[in-house]
Structure 1
Amino acid sequence: MRIVSAIVLGLVVLLVTYLGGLPFRLMSAAMASAIFYEWCAMRPGPGPHTAIAGALLAGVMLVMILGQPATILFLVLAAALLVLALHGWMSGAGLGTVAGLGYAAAPALALVHLRADDQSGLFAILFLFAVVWTTDVMAYFTGRTLGGAKLAPSISPGKTWSGAVGGTVFAVLAGGAFAFHENAVHGVLLIALIALVLAVISQIGDLFESALKRRSGVKDSSNLIPGHGGVMDRVDGLMAAALALYLLAALLGGAESPAHALFNF
């Protein structure tokens, strides 16, 4: 079941990424919704506060699905976070659910505006996938082969420094090779440096989710994906890296067309 689920999910994600547009926005919204559901399951808050948060997330996702500009989207998200924070303060619910809303929604908005509807966006997302997946796979195999000191034994006992470094090195090579083959705007070196940042960020995202699960006393974020656990278990590093890539590309080329700062088609 685990292998079948992985193959089916991988093919669906690649197909929807290729299609872009509305299908990609819907997939991103579904991922954000699942992540927020899992966050609330692990860190349950007062019912009314969680219901308000869910309604705010639905509103942000609707604006995203309708294809609004990045500036408007992030302003809507900021307003939603402010409203939820004020309600949490007045009701005594705290800021845990506010953090969950931002954690779920911000990377989804980043993914959508990285992809956009052109070839540059497609290759930006494929670059992201290549770097994050290479980091995950090679960190596992390098760590298993070399062993050594634990990276964060109190959070994720299986991870080692050798795996973290190995995954990062191979991710930089993968990112550089991708840039060499495609039309990288600023050359191979900058794309390789971006791959380095993304590899580190994706592993931090993985550790953050592991810490969240450990604090909540659960092995998986949910059982939404047969044989794999939850959505957060599969995309924790990807979502963190997606937000980082969007911010870096937006600094280079603007918030509305960030992918054009990376690949030119």
Structure 2
Amino acid sequence: MGRELKLRIASAIVLAVVVLTATWVGGSAFNIVAAAIAPLIYYEWSTITRLAEQNFKTNAFGWLIVVLIAGDIVFGSSELSMPLLCGGAVTAALMVLLGGGSWWLPGGIVYAGLSGISLAAIRGDNQAGFVATLFIFAVVWGTDILAYFVGRAIGGPKLAPRISPGKTWSGAIGGTVAGVAASGLLTLGVFSRLSLWTMALAFLLSVASQVGDLFESFIKRRFGVKDSSHLIPGHGGVMDRVDGLVFACFAVFLLTLVDTAMKGHVSNSVAAFIFGL
């Protein structure tokens, strides 16, 4: 086993222990993890897209919004997070329209800010939120791991050769099957029942996670970058590790908001939406 592979495995184990422990504990511990992800992602996003080089002041505004969102997740009640995100994104868009800046600025605010907001909202502060978070982990991790191994074993037509030449349709299909199966087993183990809705949602989240992976690959290819950063030894950056998870969280969080709006009342939690509680 080579040194690089050993480093990669060690980093993965440490990350998994930290994330799963914070997920188990919940509350402030998980909120700190969710909040930390937002500025780390914005750091990598702004570095890749060279926002600071284009306009220091507008990039500083992006930092301000993301840090305020992170602070609200940790120290507040998260009630200001979405208004901060929406207001910051709209203001950033106006800055671009009036000053001719980069559209990567509002994009970065939304991508980084919504990452922290959605993670914190999904976990919540109860046992149902813990299970909902594990459900998403099962979908994303199952998809990611099996997509890699199935793609290497079977090969075949490329999924998106211009964006990520290594990804194949066989890997995408194998990953989706694995993600749905893993989350289904988790659901059966916890609730002793499995609904068609929950499996359909798992399928959607698996697809969303792969879209997130392709989206990050597109950004890196657009700017000629191999890794989003070197923050994680052997793995690259935070965006490299959470791209699929971020899009899956986006999907379930936004779908829950839509469901709440359609029903005309606030759902108990994201878990209620996922499992039909």
Q: Deviations over 1:126-179 (max 9, x none)?
A: 000011000000111111111100111111111000000111111111222222
Gaps of 5+ in 2: 1-6, 261-265
Pick one of 6, 10, 33 that aligns with 1:4.
10
CA–CA distance in structure 2, aligned partners of residues 184 and 57 of structure 1: 40
Q: What are the residue-to-residue correspondences of 1:218-233 with 2, within 5 Å?
A: 218-233=225-240
1:148 corresponds to 2:156:
yes
Shift of 1:180: 1.6
Question: Out of 41, 65, 82, which is 2:74 matched to?
Answer: 65
- 1:109-188 to structure 2, matched below 5 A, reads 109-183=117-191, 187-188=194-195
Residue 49 of structure 1 aligns with which residue?
Answer: 58
Report the CA distance shift for 1:183/1:247 in structure 2 as closer, same or farther (over 3 A). farther
Normalising to structure 1: TM-score of the pair?
Answer: 0.93
Is 1:199 the counterpart of 2:206? The answer is yes
Pick from 242, 249, 273: which aligns with 1:261?
273
Matched pairs, number: 263
Residues 1:214 and 2:221 aligned together? yes
CA deviations 1:209-257 (Å, max 9, x no partner) are 0010011111100000011100000000000001112223344464662
Q: CA deviation at 1:81?
A: 1.0
8 Å CA contact retained: 1:184, 1:264: no
Aligned identity (percent) is 44
Deviation at 1:26, TM superposition (A): 1.2
Quote how far apart the aligned CAs of 1:54 are.
0.4
Matched letter for residue 174 of structure 1: A
Counterpart of 1:29 in structure 2 is: 35
The match for 1:75 is: 83
Secondary structure class of the residue paired with 2:225: coil
What is the alpha-carbon root mean square deviation over aligned residues? 1.8
Provide the TM-score with structure 2 as the length reference. Answer: 0.89
Task: Pick one of 26, 39, 44 that aligns with 1:38.
Answer: 44
Do 1:120 and 1:259's aligned partners in 2 also have CA atoms closer than 8 Å? yes
Equivalent-residue separation in structure 2 for 1:181 and 1:190 (angstroms): 17
What's the offset of the Cα at 1:188? Answer: 2.6
Query: Which is bigger in relative contact order (C-alpha 8 A, separation at least 6)?
Result: 1
Q: Which moved more, 1:45-54 or 1:227-236?
A: 45-54
CA displacement, residues 84-134 of structure 1 (integer Å, 9 cap, x when unaligned): 222222222132111011011112111101111100000000000011000
